[in-house]
Amino acid sequence: MTDTPTSKRFAPIGPLTGTIRVPGDKSISHRALMFGALAVGETKVTGLLEGHDVLATAEALRIMGATIERFDDGSWSIHGVGVGGLLQPAQALDMGNSGTSTRLLMGLIASHAITANFTGDASLSGRPMGRVIDPLSQMGARFEPSPGGTLPLMMKGSFPTVPISYRLPVASAQVKSAILLAGLNTPGITTVIEPVPTRDHTERMLKGFGADLTVEEVDGERVIRIRGDAELTPQTITVPGDPSSAAFFIVAALLVEGSDLTIENVGLNPTRAGLITVLQQMGGDIELLNEREVGGEPVADLRVQHSQLRGIDVDPAIAPSMIDEFPVLFVAAANAQGTTTTSGLHELRVKESDRLSAMAAALTSVGARLKELEDGLVIAGSGGEPLRGTGNELITTHLDHRIAMSMAVAGLASKDGVEVDDTRPIATSFPDFEQLLEGAARG
């Protein structure tokens, strides 16, 4: 990321029509690289998301011994080192802005007798790592984080690590995944108990790579067990489109009059598809076409048409399946008829930014009426009237890509546009976002 912020005004550009494809799923892209790096032999991947976050994962794995190549046709090849075969990194692992890279790689390294230094940008360095440090410390890894449990952080893995049974105190796919990845190279059975289900890409993909992993429901909780000393078998993976990236185009097409947009090849894992359910409850016209399964993941094409949305009370139980999509849902709610109430969103306060306060401030500055609560927002919709836009103000994005893209969508449905203070963070997850928006507007 360059040192100079790049502001941009996103103004109404007309209906979004035609057919687009969004980049590959970020969660699956991270895991395809990591699991390929632990398999013996060649894993082939197509559709990999090539944003900064995923590339940070690839570079860290290269530093620890995996051979990872990109070919001119956009496909990737990973020659792994085997479970337990990661090498001592000769330099710090620069995670950029990627919390997923950091927490999952901490899990991978925990069961290796190596030492690693993790660094990141200003945004990532403010994010807490304690929730991962705690269970991995119980398994035998040691940590020297910065004050507050943040990056820069040094960790010393342990071999052999000790299998644990860990009940997640907060719904977090990253914490669950870190423990399971540490369990891959830990003798015995490592168990994670999930009171609230979170995205399950790790479980699906580890099974696909041949890990001995079971999932069962006991007294309403998910119990996930992985047997250590695993051997992973290389795979050929097609990464589906990222539902979190598709979310911005879904909401934009719902809000902009005259829109009729088809988004192809979107991953619809049930632990990720909460936004579509909520928008349909609000009256959004979203049709699932050509539903199919690719590599164990459900996929469909989405046809989205302009709709007058209605405010609802969003069930907090659905929050884990759409936690990253709440910023853009807030934009939809600000343009709906009636009031939308959200709750149970404490997790949003420890993302790349405090997304509750950031979105409350951003939407208020463009004319939305809302109330910020400790764990959510209550938003009084405009009744379909366009929000006024920013005038001469700039929206503060706090180096958070989802704030930037959500407010870009708000700009498309505003009277005179919305100007965000910095578009650079968008490249961390969605490098082609602006070009795709412009292309959809041209149909």
What residue numbers does the annotated binding site cover?
26-27, 31, 99, 127, 172, 174, 324, 351, 355, 402
Cα four-point dihedral sign 246, 348, 5, 50: negative
Q: Count CA atoms closer than 13 A to 339's CA, side-chain side.
A: 8
Number of CB atoms found within 10 A of residue 289's CB: 10
Give me the numbers of helices (H) and strands (E) for the chain, helices first please: 12, 21
Q: Which of 121, 200, 242, 324 is catalytic?
A: 324
Binding residues for 3-phosphoshikimate: 26-27, 31, 172, 174, 324, 351
| Residue 150: DSSP 8-state | E
- Nearest to 85, CA basis, from 300, 272, 230: 230
Q: Which residues contact 126 (CB under 8 A, 6 or more apart)?
A: 150
Binding residues for phosphoenolpyruvate: 26, 99, 127, 174, 355, 402
E strand or H helix that includes residue 99: helix 99-110
Please state, in angstroms and rounded to a whole number, the distance separating the CA atoms of residues 73 and 70: 8
Helix ranges (H only) for 209-354 are 243-255, 274-281, 326-334
**Strand stretches in 352-411, DSSP E:** 369-373, 376-380
Cα 346 to the center of its chain, rounded Å = 17
Instruction: State which amino acid sits at residue 159.
Output: F
Catalytic annotation present for 324: yes
Please state, in angstroms and rounded to a whole number, the distance separating the CA atoms of residues 409 and 333: 12
Q: What value, to the nearest 5°, has the Cα angle with vertex 373 and ends 371 and 378?
A: 40
Identify the three-state secondary structure at position 30: helix
For residue 167 the two structure tokens come to 């009940």
**Strand stretches in 89-188, DSSP E:** 93-94, 115-119, 142-146, 150-156, 165-167
- Please give the positions annotated as active site: 324
